Amino acid sequence: MKKNFSLFILTMALFTISSTSAISNPVQAPATPVAPATDEKNAETPNQQDQNTVMVSVNAKTINKGEIMPPTAIQVDEQSTAWSVLQKALDEKKIKYELKQNKDDFYVVSINGISTESAEKGSGWMYSVNGIYGKVCANLCKVKKGDKVEWHYTTNLGKDLGVSE
C-alpha cells in the first residue's frame, strides 16, 4: 500500500509541477500591434483637411432634378480650378457633360443631359467656391485644399440661387 501511495503522491507532484509551469509560462501572443476594433458605421476616413482634396457636388434642385452628384472628394494641386475638379469628378462618376470653349470663352453647357436654357432663357450652370459664386470663368478660378466647390443649375441667371449682382 505504501508503494501505491508513494506512486500516487509522485503522480500528483508531477501533475502539479506541469500545471504550475503552464500557468507561470503562458504562451505569449506575437508582439505585433493590433488595431482596435472599429464599428463600420463610425469608421472614419482620413480627414479631408489632411489630404490635398476639395469636395465637389452638382445639383439641379431648381428644376426638381435633385442631386446629380453628391459631394465627392477630388485631389487638387496648384493648377486646379473649379472646372478641372468638376471635370475629374464627372469623369470618375461617368457623368456626361458638354462645354463650350474657345480663345475668349469657356462655359459648361450641359451636365447629365441638363443643358443651358433647357428650362428657360437665362438658365444654365453656375458654380460657387465656399458659398461664393464665381465672377470669372470656372477654368480661371483656382481652388485649394479644403475648398467646397458646388455646381448649381439656375433658371434665371442665379436669382433662384440667391446670387446678387
143 is a domain residue: yes
CA pair distance 99, 72, nearest whole angstrom:
21
Q: How many domains are contained in the chain?
A: 1
Residue range 78-134, pLDDT digits in tens: 999 999 999 999 999 999 999 998 877 789 999 999 998 777 788 999 999 999 999
CA pair distance 33, 28, nearest whole angstrom:
13
pLDDT at 165: 66
pLDDT at 115: 94
Is residue 97 classed as helix, strand or coil in its secondary structure?
Answer: strand
CB-CB contact of 95 with 68 (8 Å): yes
Q: What is the CATH number of the domain that holds 138?
A: 2.170.130.30
93 is a domain residue: yes
The rounded percent of the chain whose pLDDT value lies above 90 is: 59
24 is a domain residue: no
38 is a domain residue: no
pTM, whole model, 2 decimals? Answer: 0.68
Residue with cell 443651358: 116
Mean pLDDT over residues 133-162, rounded? Answer: 95
pLDDT at 102: 83
CA pair distance 144, 137, nearest whole angstrom:
16
109 is a domain residue: yes
103 is a domain residue: yes
Structural domain containing residue 115: 48-157
What b-and-e string marks burial along 38-70, b requiring 16 or more CB atoms within 10 Å of the CB? eeeeeeeeeeeeeeebbbbbbbbebbeeeebbe
CA pair distance 158, 161, nearest whole angstrom:
5
